[in-house]
Amino acid sequence: MTFGARYSAAVADRGRLCVGIDPHAELLEQWGLPVTVDGLRTFAQTCVDALGPVAAVIKPQVAFFEVFGSAGFAVLEETIAGCREAGALVLADAKRGDIGSTMAAYSSAWLDDASPLCSDAVTASPYLGVGALDPTIRLAAATGRGVFVLARTSNPDGQGVQTAVTSFGTSVAQSVVDAAAAVNADGSGTVGLVVGATREHGLDLSRLAGPILAPGVGAQGATPADLPGIFGDSADPAWVLPAASRSILRAGPDGSALAVAARSTRDEVESALTV
């Protein structure tokens, strides 16, 4: 199956929501866990058990595992495997971006079956040029996996770069969108985009034919009710994948409460995006 088909099947079965697993120190402490590898493992396993059977997509934030070194990566491997075994698609939020053989190595780490970190998709930065992501896009297409490329992020520092006008007369962010749409013209949905849900993005997403990860719901201030206004006129709502992390994770450490929070957010999203 292509990634677009796998995505569509997942959200048809479980609804449009990506839940982040962000085990930063504040949340570990809030859960009464030590900021150690043991605390990390308990946190991650609780999330796997509670969210793996519920969410269409689960997005581990790689940095919060990486901070613990090799032991943290071991927990990340367990987390990825557990979520996938529970039926969720796993989007590794690694935001890799480089050139040549280095980018090819990053691609193999996150998208190759032989890697213990292998996920269903990975986030990537296009700001060394979208063409630099070709090794990742090729491997994703060959394996039925996806690449979510940063287009219009919600952080204020990104605005100057992303809204700058290229020599072709479009914004840098729109040029990323157009490049993704060109890849997806084959119907594969291989390339998704990251477009923040916290403000107007000014992009034409109508031809993307791929998933749009929309972070910012919950703790960053966006609500499900905001989504039609942000994406309604520019994108097919079937491809919009809102993401929430802290607003759901704060329901822990009780696994049942985590699952309830995820279902509640998903239902609000579905109500807002269903015409």
Burial of residue 275 (number of CB atoms within 10 Å: 0-12, 13-18, 19+): exposed
Active site residue ranges: 95
Structure tokens at 164: 């700058």
Handedness of CA 234, 245, 85, 12 (dihedral sign): negative
Contacts 24+ apart (CB under 8 A), 68-71: 68/36, 68/37, 68/40, 71/37
Q: In 3-state terms, what secondary structure has residue 149? A: strand
DSSP letter at 118?
Answer: -
Contact 162, 137 (CB under 8 A): no
